[in-house]
Amino acid sequence: MIDFESARARMVDNQLRTTDVTSHSLLSAFLTVPREAFVAEKLAALAYIDSDLEIAPATDGQAPRYMMEPSPLGKLLQAAEIGQDDVVLDVGAGTGYASAIMSRLAKSVLALEQDDALVSRATVVLAEQGFDNVSVVKGSLEKGCSGEAPFDIIFLNGAVEVIPDALFDQLRDGGRLIAVVGYGNASAAYVYVREGASVSKRFLFNTSVKPLPGFRKVAEFVF
């Protein structure tokens, strides 16, 4: 029988604290959210390893979907500086694990997902675990959720090649968007801040996380 509580504590001590995740409120959230509940039962024993975990298989030409490994997730969420009055949009919520973590820090979280199976899974597990300030919404990841905007924080739960203007438009003035831009070893994490009509960008750190579907540059034709 696996002692998930002890495994969770080891994850925090060995994977988060050692990679400069120091926010007490964030570490507390990681300690209280059962990561094993957000993966398939057959993967529960692996829930706390320092690795991405598959949450949806490849289908119809789409790549598999993954739950982000704890270390980069923790660093990205720490950079978001989520406050207790913040309204958060989690783009590409998957089964809802990151949404659950953010719900411990924020006023409310909107978990946006476009995969039907993941929407169903997230809705069930978040309700079962009592995360009542998270709402799961099905829709295009690239379009965001303009009907619920503006947001204080927009978190892109995977790597992207480009960030659509539609998402920046859904930030509140002073709001922050956290994203990993680029794929593989060429990717890096950034925080974007809405300042009136403009958006500033700041480099955070180099990292490599699994991509979100879509968010590709439009091909340019040269004649």
Inter-axis angle of helices 4-11 and 24-32, nearest 10:
150
Question: What confidence tens digit (pLDDT) does each residue in 23-34 have?
Answer: 999 999 999 999
Tens of pLDDT, residues 44-94:
999 999 999 999 998 877 889 999 999 999 999 999 999 999 999 999 999
Q: For the chain, give every domain's residue range.
A: 4-206
User: Dihedral of CA 194/212/19/43: which sign?
Assistant: positive
Token pair belonging to 60 = 């119809």
Residues for the chain: how many in total? Answer: 223
CATH 3.50.50.60 fits 4-206, yes or no: no
Backbone angles phi, psi at 151, to 5 degrees: -115, 145
Q: Is 48 helix (H, G, I), strand (E, B) or coil?
A: coil
Residues 113-162: tens digit of each pLDDT? 999 999 999 999 999 999 999 999 999 999 999 999 999 999 999 999 99
